[in-house]
Structure 1
């Protein structure tokens, strides 16, 4: 199995092929993507990811078959479209999700900037820091408190861990300098 990085172009090619497989099966599917693939497709960010984290909203069985077929054809793991990441998705509906790919057989919506920001803050991974900065800028946030407010709105009742606060503060290094004066 190849450990291929998937960039925007490659993800779209794989979705095209999934769509053809679904057509062959006479099926339709709908997915909601998060993580690096959503960053790449929804925000035109030149970025690569190891898999496409997704929640399958319609056509689960047929889509899973198509994902395996396409993956094997290209030497990818069966989990190149990873539906195990759904526990990271806020329960609050994403009313701002936009369609990032559409064919007659496959519709893909990408998580909104607010949802992506909240999920990346919750994950607390250093590798997400660049994305957190891009999302804060895209949303026009002025400081870490505004980023934390987005997190609290989408994960109500969750404690704001030190890692969440730290990631939010790192997105605004100029604010950290101001506080240090």
Structure 2
């Protein structure tokens, strides 16, 4: 069957595909652990109606999972990389440290879904225009009104020496200020804690330019899907 590269998958379709992957590997005596980010994580955490083109995350054992996913892609007319780990570069942190991750059981697959805090930090680090709506949705979900909270979350997840989080605290502060304004439709007048004197937007900040945002064992799963 030819692949439909532009096809978007619903939350339930993806969960069904993942269950099939897990069942096929279980038949071979292979157990799977996964940590999910991206669109599926947003669908689980915030919006069950969301659709996405693929599944991003960490899967162990990866080679076995990828082979089965590619077989399913050929059978169902999906892109060969519908299940991938392209976001690996934005996961330069200890995923086992995400203590707020939601644990779900998908067939025989144990899955941890990235917490809203981690999703927010990753989207801030990525700095992609297409993530603007997700960032504002996460800010609403986490009930964030102070941009310093976003700065603290980002650096708490990635650390001060991160190669992933390349923007300065002040730059992220102003990105967060704009996102909070969009989320709550109100001006943000606080200034970053790390600066002294009147707050000033960096020249390359979204507000200044008018642009947007330049395996271990676990306990029993909390949710079964």
Band the TM-score falls in, shorter-chain normalisation: 0.7 to 0.9
Give 1:65's aligned residue. 67
User: Would you say the 8 A contact 1:129–1:170 is kept in 2?
Assistant: no
User: Would you say the 8 A contact 2:125–2:166 is kept in 1?
Assistant: no
- In 2, Cα distance between equivalents of 1:100 and 1:130: 25
1:134 to 121, 137, 152: 137
Q: Any stretches of 5+ residues in structure 1 without a counterpart?
A: none
Indicate how the Cα distance of structure 1 residues 75 and 167 shifts in structure 2: closer, same or farther if over 3 A, else same: farther
Give matches, 1:159-174, under 5 Å.
Answer: 159-161=166-168, 164-173=172-181, 174=184
Indicate how the Cα distance of structure 1 residues 17 and 166 shifts in structure 2: closer, same or farther if over 3 A, else same: farther
1:43 is aligned to 2:46: yes
Q: CA RMSD in A?
A: 2.3
Give 1:91's aligned residue. 93
Give 1:177's aligned residue. 187
State the aligned residue count.
178
- In 1, Cα distance between equivalents of 2:142 and 2:155: 16
After the TM superposition, list the runs of 4 or more consecutive aligned residues in structure 1 that deviate by more than 6 angstroms.
none
Shift of 1:163: 6.5
Q: As a proportion of its length, which structure holds more helix? A: 1
Give the number of the structure whose alpha-carbon radius of gyration is greater.
Answer: 2
User: Would you say the 8 A contact 2:36–2:58 is kept in 1?
Assistant: yes
- In 1, Cα distance between equivalents of 2:171 and 2:126: 9
- In 1, Cα distance between equivalents of 2:128 and 2:104: 25
Residues 12-68 of structure 1 deviation map (CA, whole Å, 9 limit, x = unaligned): 121122122213322111110111111012334422221111112x32232122111
Shift of 1:138: 2.0
TM-score by length of 2: 0.71
1:114 is aligned to 2:122: no
Q: Any stretches of 5+ residues in structure 2 without a counterpart?
A: 190-225
Shift of 1:143: 2.2
User: Would you say the 8 A contact 1:169–1:176 is kept in 2?
Assistant: no
- In 2, Cα distance between equivalents of 1:46 and 1:59: 29
Shift of 1:137: 2.0
TM-score by length of 1: 0.86
